[in-house]
Amino acid sequence: MRKRWSTLIAALLASAAWAGAADAAALRVGIQDDPDALDPAVSGTYAGRFVFAAMCDKLVDIAPDLTIVPQLATDWTWAPDQKSITFNLRPGVKFHDGTPFDAEAVKFNIERMTTMKDSRRKAELSAVAGVTVLSPTQVRLDLKEPFAPLLSVLSDRAGMMVSTKAGDDFANAPVCAGPYKFVERKARDLIRLEKFADYWDAKSYGYDQVVYYYISDSTVRLARVRAGDLDIAERVAPTDLKTVRDDRNLKLHSAPGLAVSHLMVNVGAGEKANTPLGKDARLRRAFELAIDRNAINKVAFNGEYTADNQMIPPSDPFYSKDNPAPKRDVEAAKKLIREAGMTTVPVELTFENALTDSRVAQIVQSMAKEAGFDVKLQPLETATAIQRYLAGNFEMYIGNWSGRGDPDPTLYAFFACNGGQNVNKYCNKELEGVLNAARAEGDMPKRKALYAKATGMYLTDLPTIPIYHPNWFFAARSAVDGLAVYPDGLLRLKGVKPAG
Amino acid sequence: MLGFIGRRLAVAIPTLLLVSVLMFGLQQFLPGDPAVALAGEENNPEVIAHLREKYQFDKPWPVQYARWLSAFVAGDFGTSVRTRLPIREMVIDKLPVTIELATLSMLVALAVGIPAGVIAALRRGGVTDYAVSVVGLAGLSIPSFWLGIMLILAFSVGLGWLPSGGYVPVSESIVGNLRSMLLPAVVLGTAATAVIMRHTRSAMLTVLKQDFVRTARAKGLRERLVIARHALRNGLIPVVTLATLEFGHLLSGAVLTEQVFGIPGFGKMIVDGVFGRDYAVVQAVVIVAAAIFLLMSLVADLAYMALNPRLRA
């Protein structure tokens, strides 16, 4: 009997080993969210972008230092008046269905993104007035007004090129021009891609297949990498990093992120703006002084994130070093509250009822209390919270913004009077003027100076109080070689290959 | 018998209709605009308005319901507004996975729960009885999420015997399928094991006191035969009913287990559907789940009739 059991176990183990061997050239990646529609024109999730990074090449890409580098466009020239940009396209590129990629395809894509009814890229591409095909490998984008962030916009979904044969059900079988092509999607389970043999740089890609498994829990994701059933887990929780560091079969890959978590104060949207905090910038300053960003980072995230006072992270070239985060000063906070003629300031803090935000909210509540803020916590289920956020139906809200490679989509969205994320209805015409000037400025040092000025202005008015920037942590098996994490947290597979 | 089944099925249809109306109505009370949830971080009023119109969120709910029902009856379950994938295919894809998981969990529960319950009843008040009760209570109280992670850490990370998650279809590999389902079935089956064990124990205790058992013993039958042929057979009647109904609970309780082991089942569909305000998905899943539940209760009644000849008349 015992012998029979051992034979059975041996057979099972052998079958496991065989299964592993068969998948030797497949990279198995655990992702936290299930991507939405796999169409760059309509997708709205980070998980979607994560998959696109292997499937859909863009006109340009970003380097780890956030500079713009060639991808489907080999180089580009801005017109002297900054109102148009001409791209030279990589010759000989094919979409996964064999259709050639050329200037006509660029025109088709930009027009698709700007005219498709449910396109979410319209706002991003609103500066584009038209596309002119100059030759099969040269195309010009004409702009309504100078718009320096355009290249950054084209380094994301708005710059992803899909086959000119794209139809209505594109999302079910996407066809792009990236290194991996779509094979199958099992809803809420996995997305399988395989290497595109005709890719222009196919030799730089070391895996024959990439499979993205949707595993929402970060502990479970990590356990599966530790067990060897996955090769990479994205977004490992800061509290699990010690486990990764202690496991000699794993490697921790990290990079500073672009995202920001901030306490947005309703200063002008409806009734909820009529609060002491919403009306008086001194009280918002007092609130900022009452909280200790480093302590929040330490307690909630084991000190693995970046405590900071700006919407743009310190790793970004546009970060303003002239505006450092103030140290916690409870006495100064109390003094400001007295100056405002108050002793206790009531605040209602709304947030999505998720683990991290709840933790941060509780820490903020207890810190602010010491200075005289009576913070009432209002946790809400995600969809409800977002709806309240968009309607400006909150006094203070923990906002989580994913950030972008260029400062404009963040700063303009939050601080221009009609910005897309300006849900707290903050309006400072002078600041808006500076943001508009930065938008049109092509010269890097001058643009930097303008954003430094803008940073000083929003940090004076404090319509929102940034607290920290999450960083990216990926756990990978040591057998995965060449992995690099980018500030946008997307997994680029160029140079990634099995070790040895 | 056929008349009984027919009557039950006839009652099932209005029940399902009622469930669907309730579900549809209740979803309207959920806070949060589905179009807004769908638009996500991109806060563009034009896009939100288009989504609202495209998926008819702007229509009164009885109109939405009527449209949904007529399509559903015709076999069109609609499209997921989030992923744009057809829901019917999703259901066809995921339902067998959850049914397999629930079936295997039930097998675990029966294989462990019935013998343990019988032994506990036979050794009433003894150490074994207490041990079984304590283990049973623990089985009921351990959160499946925690148990799942512990088993993964032990059997996948530590010993490396079993996969840490994922699902291998039977068509791909039978051994692979069983390997991928073993830990999830144990986790999901744990609570059911405890329930079945406790019920078997109390049913057996009742039966063992009955006259016919005493008569069987008096006839000189061996104790093993008394237990197996007379006591257990009668004691199992309530347990079988319970197990069939418990199967319905396993289907709906599979959510957490599926989550921990990354099994692409039915449970995950409904959770993601609710949070993403993907109403069509939620609606389809709930109706199908309700239908299964009704079917299982019919099976329970039939099994009861089969085991209890007095009801067959």
Per-residue pLDDT at A388 exceeds 80: yes
* Side chain identity, residue A45: T
Q: Considering only CA atoms, which of A78, A72, A90, A85 is closest in space to residue A132?
A: A85
- How far apart CA A76 and CA A62 sit, in angstroms, is 15
Which residues, in sequence order, are CB contacts of B129 under 8 Å at separation 6+?
B120, B121, B123, B201
* Side chain identity, residue A448: K
- How far apart CA B109 and CA B200 sit, in angstroms, is 12
Sheet containing A464-469, strands listed edge to edge, beginning at the edge strand earlier in sequence: A306-307, A464-469, A260-265, A396-401, A345-352, A373-380
Contact with chain A for residue B128, Cβ under 8 A: no
In this predicted model, what pLDDT tens digit does every residue of A159-214 receive, in sequence order? 999 999 988 789 889 999 999 999 999 888 899 999 999 999 999 999 999 999 99
- How far apart CA A298 and CA A438 sit, in angstroms, is 35
Within 8 A of A26 by CB-CB distance, chain B residues are none
Distance from CA of A47 to the nearest CA of B (A): 12
Split at pLDDT 50, 70, 90, the class of A5 is low
> Using CB atoms, which residue from A36, A169, A219 is nearest to B149?
A219
In this predicted model, what pLDDT tens digit does every residue of A70-127 receive, in sequence order? 999 999 999 999 999 999 999 999 999 999 999 999 999 999 999 988 888 888 898 9
Residue B30's pLDDT is 73
Beta bridge partners of A58: A160
Within 8 A of B259 by CB-CB distance, chain A residues are 216-217, 220
Split at pLDDT 50, 70, 90, the class of A18 is very low
Within 8 A of B187 by CB-CB distance, chain A residues are none
The DSSP output letter for A145 is S
* Side chain identity, residue A156: D
* Side chain identity, residue B6: G
Residue B43's pLDDT is 65
Contact with chain A for residue B182, Cβ under 8 A: no
Within the 194-253 window of chain A, which residues sit less than 8 Å (CB to CB) from chain B? Answer: 213-217, 219-220, 223-224, 226-229
Per-residue pLDDT at A19 exceeds 50: no
CB contact (8 A) between residue A120 and residue B272: no
CA–chain centroid gap for A356, Å, is: 17
Residue B20's pLDDT is 85
Contact with chain A for residue B28, Cβ under 8 A: no
Which residues, in sequence order, are CB contacts of B194 under 8 Å at separation 6+?
B113, B135, B136, B137, B138, B139, B140
Q: What is the pLDDT along chain B (313 residues), one digit of tens a residue?
A: 778 788 888 888 888 888 888 888 887 777 767 777 777 666 677 777 887 887 777 788 888 888 888 888 888 888 887 777 888 888 888 888 888 999 999 999 999 888 888 888 888 888 888 888 888 888 888 888 888 888 888 888 888 888 888 888 888 888 888 998 999 999 998 888 888 888 888 888 888 777 887 787 788 777 777 777 777 777 788 888 788 878 877 887 788 888 888 888 887 788 778 777 788 888 888 888 888 888 888 887 887 777 776 766 5
* Side chain identity, residue B199: H
Alpha carbon distances (Å) from A34 to A44, A189, B78, B88, B272? 12, 8, 19, 18, 9
For chain A, the average pLDDT equals 91
Task: Enter the tokens of residue A35.
Answer: 């991507």
Within 8 A of B272 by CB-CB distance, chain A residues are 34, 188
- How far apart CA A13 and CA A271 sit, in angstroms, is 65
pLDDT higher for A278 or B149?
Answer: A278
Residue B40's pLDDT is 64
Distance from CA of A120 to the nearest CA of B (A): 7
DSSP-based three-state secondary structure for A86 = strand
Within 8 A of B183 by CB-CB distance, chain A residues are none
> Using CB atoms, which residue from B42, B262, B272 is nearest to A215?
B262
Contact with chain A for residue B83, Cβ under 8 A: yes
Contact with chain A for residue B50, Cβ under 8 A: yes
* Least confident among A2-11, A132-141, A350-359, A418-427: A2-11
By CB atoms closer than 10 A (0-12, 13-18, 19+), residue A54 is buried
Gap between the terminal Cα atoms of chain A: 42
Question: In A115-162, which ranges are E strands?
Answer: 128-135, 138-143
pLDDT higher for A68 or B78?
Answer: A68
Distance from CA of A385 to the nearest CA of B (A): 8
Contact with chain A for residue B217, Cβ under 8 A: no
Per-residue pLDDT at A37 exceeds 60: yes
pTM over 0.80: yes
| CA closest to B32 among chain A residues | A384
Residue A99's pLDDT is 95
Q: What is the ipTM, given to two decimal places? A: 0.73
